[in-house]
């Protein structure tokens, strides 16, 4: 019967909404609408709006849920460069488990508390290696751009083993080059200070 309220046995809450949204988005982000979400949860669209303001908030919550699964950088980790490498490879692996969410994760990352925490952890790991704040930001930005480019190059298709290996190799080359560049700039600063 049209207009008849939908009945849901369990109480609706934000984590349940995010679970359902993630389930839909895993199949197709384009299919994630407030209507499809209400159908998945067996509630009216209006019931969703009691918990979330709309699709944009749902997407932001989905991004947080996904990124919360990303590997953390332990402040006591030995080598900050290796910790950054592990974080980036871990995020690549994580995104492979959520095909089709690359664009929304990339779009929401600048405002994401979890993405910002990950950035702070990565930059702090590099600073523990002796990099200045500016150098650490430069390195983190370069690694981020490599990651973004690799995800964009996939154009929504799943990564193959060759893609995984190529990305890891490119990341190693980039990190090695950045490490050498930072080391060379430190030597230049040290020799300038010594000649004064």
Calculate ∠ Cα 108-21-28, nearest 5°: 80
| pLDDT of res. 187 | 47
The sign of the dihedral angle between the CA atoms of 137, 139, 142, 144 is: negative
Q: Tell me whether residue 183 is in a domain.
A: yes
Q: Tell me whether residue 162 is in a domain.
A: yes
* Domain stops at, among 64, 99, 123: 64
Q: Tell me whether residue 3 is in a domain.
A: no
| Same-domain check for residues 54 and 138 | no
CA-CA distance, 178 to 117, in Å (whole number)? Answer: 22
Q: Tell me whether residue 2 is in a domain.
A: no
Going from the C-alpha of 193 to that of each of 100, 131, 150, 187, 189, the distances in angstroms are 51, 17, 40, 10, 6
| Same-domain check for residues 127 and 180 | yes
Q: Tell me whether residue 31 is in a domain.
A: yes
- Which pLDDT band holds residue 17 (cuts at 50, 70, 90)? very high
| pLDDT of res. 52 | 97
| Same-domain check for residues 173 and 104 | yes
| Same-domain check for residues 84 and 21 | no
Give residue-wise pLDDT tens across range 77-101: 789 999 999 999 999 999 988 878 8
| Same-domain check for residues 79 and 128 | yes
Q: Three-state DSSP class for 10? A: coil
CA-CA distance, 71 to 184, in Å (whole number)? Answer: 30
- State the total domains in the chain: 2
| Same-domain check for residues 97 and 180 | yes
| pLDDT of res. 77 | 77
Q: Tell me whether residue 8 is in a domain.
A: no
| Same-domain check for residues 57 and 137 | no
Q: Tell me whether residue 7 is in a domain.
A: no
| Same-domain check for residues 126 and 33 | no
* Domain stops at, among 23, 43, 64: 64
- Which pLDDT band holds residue 174 (cuts at 50, 70, 90)? very high
| Same-domain check for residues 178 and 98 | yes
| Same-domain check for residues 99 and 166 | yes
- Which pLDDT band holds residue 157 (cuts at 50, 70, 90)? confident
CA-CA distance, 6 to 45, in Å (whole number)? Answer: 10
Domain holding 91, by residue range, is: 72-194
Rounded mean pLDDT of 128-145? 94
User: What does pTM read for this prediction?
Assistant: 0.81
| Same-domain check for residues 136 and 186 | yes
| Same-domain check for residues 120 and 60 | no
Task: Pinpoint the alpha helices (H) of 42-160.
Answer: 45-48, 55-67, 80-96, 102-108, 113-128, 133-154
Higher pLDDT, 119 or 155: 119
């Amino acid at each position: 019967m049209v207009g008849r309220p939908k009945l849901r046995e369990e109480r609706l809450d934000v984590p349940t909404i995010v679970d359902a949204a993630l389930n839909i988005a895993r199949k197709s982000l384009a299919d994630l609408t407030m209507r499809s979400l209400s159908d998945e949860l067996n509630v009216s669209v209006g019931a969703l709006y009691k918990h979330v303001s709309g699709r944009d908030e749902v997407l932001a919550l989905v991004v947080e849920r996904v990124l919360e699964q990303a590997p953390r950088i332990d402040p006591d980790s030995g080598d900050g460069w290796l910790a950054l490498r592990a974080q980036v490879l871990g995020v690549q692996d994580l995104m492979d488990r959520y095909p089709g969410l690359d664009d929304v994760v990339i779009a929401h990352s600048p405002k994401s508390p979890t993405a910002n925490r990950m950035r702070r952890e990565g930059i702090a790991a590099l600073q523990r290696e002796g990099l200045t704040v500016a150098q650490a930001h430069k390195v983190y930005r370069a690694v981020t751009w490599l990651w973004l480019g690799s995800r964009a190059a996939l154009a929504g298709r799943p990564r193959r083993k060759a893609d995984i290996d190529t990305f890891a190799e490119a990341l190693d080359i980039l990190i090695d080059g950045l490490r050498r560049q930072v080391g060379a700039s430190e030597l230049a600063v040290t020799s300038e200070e010594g000649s004064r």
